[in-house]
Amino acid sequence: MNVSALLTSAGINIGVCALLLFLCSLLRKQPENVNVYFGRRLAQEHSRLRDSGPLDRLVPSASWLVKAWGTSEEELLGVAGLDAVVFVRMIVLSIRIFSIAAVVCLFGVLPANYFGQDTHHRKISSESLDVFTIGNVDPGSRWLWVHCLSLYIISCSACVLLYTEYRSIARMRLIHITRSPPSPSHFTVLVRAIPWSVEEPYDDAVKNFFLKYHASTYLSHQMIYRVGKVQKLMNGAEEVYNKIRLQATSIELTCRPSKYTCGLCGGKLESLQYQNDFELNAKKLELNLSDLRTKLKECASAFVFFKTRYAAVVASQVLQSSNPMSWVTDLAPEPHDIYWSNLWIPYRQLWFRRIATLMASIVIMFLFLIPVTFVQGLTQLDQLQQRLPFLKGILKKHFVNQIVTGYLPSVILLLFLYIVPPLMMLFSTLEGSVSHSGRKKSACYKVLYFNIWNVFFVNVLSGSIIKQLNVISSPKGIPTELAKAVPSQATFFITYVLTSGWASLSSEVMQLFSLIWNLIRRHILRRKDDLDSVPSFPYHTEIPRVLLFGLLGFTCAILAPLIIPFLLVYFFLGYVVYRNQVLNVYIPKYETGGNMWPMMHNTTIFSLVLAQIIALGVFGLKRSPVASGFTIPLVICTLLFNEYCRKRFHPVFQNFSAQDLIDMDEQDEKCGRMEEIHQQLHMAYCQFSPAETNDESCRDVGPIGIGGENKVDSKELEIELEHPTLPGLPISSLQQSVKSLDACNPTQ
């Protein structure tokens, strides 16, 4: 591939990107697409967007790009939560690192590569791209010092930037935890593997255990019922019968609407003013309820509520029983983050499921080699012509040739890569994660490993499967193998950034799938817009993508510095696009408090070390033992730096600190907010939608919601949508909480 082919490829991509952005600017002005491009704003802000005139609709504008660029971080934090901010920070970090790398490489490494051999240089446009890579430098050349120095500058600046970023995100996370309104998840512990005994049902076992061992802090609990899809159908008929019977029993009882208790969940919460009314009815209803409850399959899991945050954290971290496989405690996920379908999974299955899905992911990773190997073959046109001789005529044409070598491989690879994230998400679901965020995080890891292996390593170590397996099975040879392969594959990576990178951003901003689905729904199915279907940010596809481009950048930086300008364009475009998406399209359904950052940090360190190891191999191949020698301490220092960061910051992302929690508890106690929070805990973790169980009167107290959806229903979601910061708590209490928070913190 020569410079003009690269420029052709870049030209095509710029054209495609521009076209898509242009289209997007038009489409987003059409009123029927408003729920595709402004899903979050419609759902959260209820702002009927200003309807532009019919003429205005046909004029594309770039104002949305400017707006996305100009939004401040505080605004972003308020609108999209810490997770989105952390993701954008990752892109900003990449821009910073690669800006430094660009200066170093374009003014240091690129000339060194270009003039590395005393050859006659042709016209730039017909020059092969290889003369810009380290392959053009003579072995034993003094120029290699430039590469070594550049590697030092890039590594050191990356480490410094990573450290400040980790520190600042850790600080943001702490502020997020301490300053945000009280979250029910801080008071709740998910208990699993409750031991089974014939004498006492799970319900009593939980009560007795926590009343005995955590008497001073235990508040109440909430059993989890097994409501799988099969059971749902089986319970169908029974349920209707029970409903009728229950209504007949309770029709004579009058009672005030209860806001805080959900009958099915046991009403264990002593909810003050409703207590008296309740007791009367409760006794009469008891028989029926207990009848019903035994018919529902209680799982060996429960949510246990504690009086203070500190007590909940203590209960979640201390080993409860001398049998570590029973009474397993963890902090509960946020109410809307819970993945109810996985809560019934017996704890004993979990470790096995985890191992099984790990194995399955590894198998998928290796099976994927087959299409990738084929795709890789396309870049070697000679081979393709040999295999498919009828293509000879077409491939001889200059333009076709350039498209096939510069564009087609990436596109095919891209299409194959599209099926991976849903597959990995499925694996993560089967793995048994109890929260949506945990599921997404796990899928994120899987997709990341998959991408790094299948996009980077397989392409670099190209060739047959057997050869690849040989390479990974001899770790000592890896630096040399990589050093041989990476510079020669640099062209592929540049085109990969151009196609996969730029195109993915354009298609992200276009929202092609949503757009088509919206058209089908509107014109064929003729359904109304529903605001519930606004998606949350697909971290499990986007984080691995951004990190993969970071990896390509680090590994190619000093070997083939031409990649950096294209990468920088990608990151700048990504910065604008993702900010726009976060502001307008996606809705934050839950909040992990920046829990994804350690993964991003670790991957960046991995990329850095990989780049250093490849450089080590290259310096070895180029017979520059001194440069090799200088690279080894760099690798060790980078690893030590990572170890230090892990010690210094990582625990903050795993646990809450006693100091913070106790301070928060004290403040709530002082403001008298505690009672209020306690009353709302049950409601927040109600398995059956309160809209059904608690609908206008407590007549429907009973497992009526059993046949309903196995997750929060739309009414509850609406509450959350209006107040995304405190999912699950009713509006009035939230407003009160916020008010009293303000009263307590005059400094804020």
**Element spanning 302, H or E:** strand 298-306
Distance CA 669, CA 677 (A): 10
Which residue type sits at 699?
R
Side-by-side strand order, sheet with 188-192? 218-225, 298-306, 188-192, 328-331
Query: In 214-274, where does DSSP find H-type helix?
Result: 229-250
Q: Does 651 bind a second copy (CB under 8 A)?
A: yes
Smallest gap, in angstroms, from Cβ of residue 645 to a second copy? Answer: 11
Residue whose token pair is 């920070």: 89
The residues, any chain, with a CB within 8 Å of residue 453's CB and separated by 6 or more, are: 365
Q: Does 738 bind a second copy (CB under 8 A)?
A: no
Distance CA 332, CA 503 (A): 39
Q: Which of 71, 180, 249, 317 binds a second copy (CB under 8 A)?
A: 317
Q: Does 324 bind a second copy (CB under 8 A)?
A: yes
Q: Does 476 bind a second copy (CB under 8 A)?
A: yes
Q: Which of 652, 664, 681, 719 binds a second copy (CB under 8 A)?
A: 652
Q: Which of 63, 276, 474, 747 binds a second copy (CB under 8 A)?
A: 474
Query: In 116-193, where does DSSP find H-type helix?
Result: 144-179
**Element spanning 298, H or E:** strand 298-306
Q: Does 674 bind a second copy (CB under 8 A)?
A: no
Stretch of 63-71, 154-162, 244-252, 655-663 contacting a second copy, by CB under 8 A: 655-663
Smallest gap, in angstroms, from Cβ of residue 312 to a second copy? Answer: 11
String of DSSP letters for 435-497: BHHHHHHHHHHHHHHHHIIIIIIHHHT-S-HHHHHHHHT-GGGHHHHHHHHHHHHHHHHHHHI
Q: Does 351 bind a second copy (CB under 8 A)?
A: yes
User: Are the CB atoms for 11 and 496 separated by under 8 Å?
Assistant: no
Helix 503-510 and helix 512-519, axial crossing angle in degrees, nearest 10 = 30
Q: Which of 648, 670, 715, 739 binds a second copy (CB under 8 A)?
A: 648
User: Are the CB atoms for 433 and 442 separated by under 8 Å?
Assistant: yes
Q: Does 473 bind a second copy (CB under 8 A)?
A: yes
Q: Does 595 bind a second copy (CB under 8 A)?
A: no
Q: Which of 353, 650, 711, 723 binds a second copy (CB under 8 A)?
A: 650
Stretch of 30-38, 296-304, 471-479, 606-614 contacting a second copy, by CB under 8 A: 471-479
Site for a second copy in 394-433 (CB under 8 A): none
Site for a second copy in 194-213 (CB under 8 A): 212-213
Q: Does 346 bind a second copy (CB under 8 A)?
A: no
Residue 107 or 352: which CB sits closer to a second copy?
Answer: 352
Site for a second copy in 450-469 (CB under 8 A): 469
Stretch of 36-44, 241-249, 561-569, 659-667 contacting a second copy, by CB under 8 A: 659-667
Q: Does 244 bind a second copy (CB under 8 A)?
A: no
Cα distances (angstroms) measured from residue 151 to each of 302, 558, 613, 624:
53, 7, 11, 15
Distance CA 50, CA 479 (A): 58
Residue 422 or 633: which CB sits closer to a second copy?
Answer: 633
Smallest gap, in angstroms, from Cβ of residue 87 to a second copy? Answer: 23
Question: What dihedral do alpha carbons 435, 437, 348, 292 form, nearest 10°?
Answer: 10
Q: Does 643 bind a second copy (CB under 8 A)?
A: yes
Q: Which of 233, 325, 358, 367 binds a second copy (CB under 8 A)?
A: 325
Q: Which of 22, 69, 352, 418 binds a second copy (CB under 8 A)?
A: 352
Helix 563-580 and helix 73-104, axial crossing angle in degrees, nearest 10 = 180
User: Are the CB atoms for 33 and 518 separated by under 8 Å?
Assistant: yes
Q: 452 is written with which tokens?
A: 């790094």
Q: Which of 475, 523, 525, 748 binds a second copy (CB under 8 A)?
A: 475
Sites of contact with a second copy (CB under 8 A): 174, 212-213, 313-315, 317-325, 327, 351-352, 355, 469-470, 473-477, 640, 643-644, 647-652, 655-660, 662
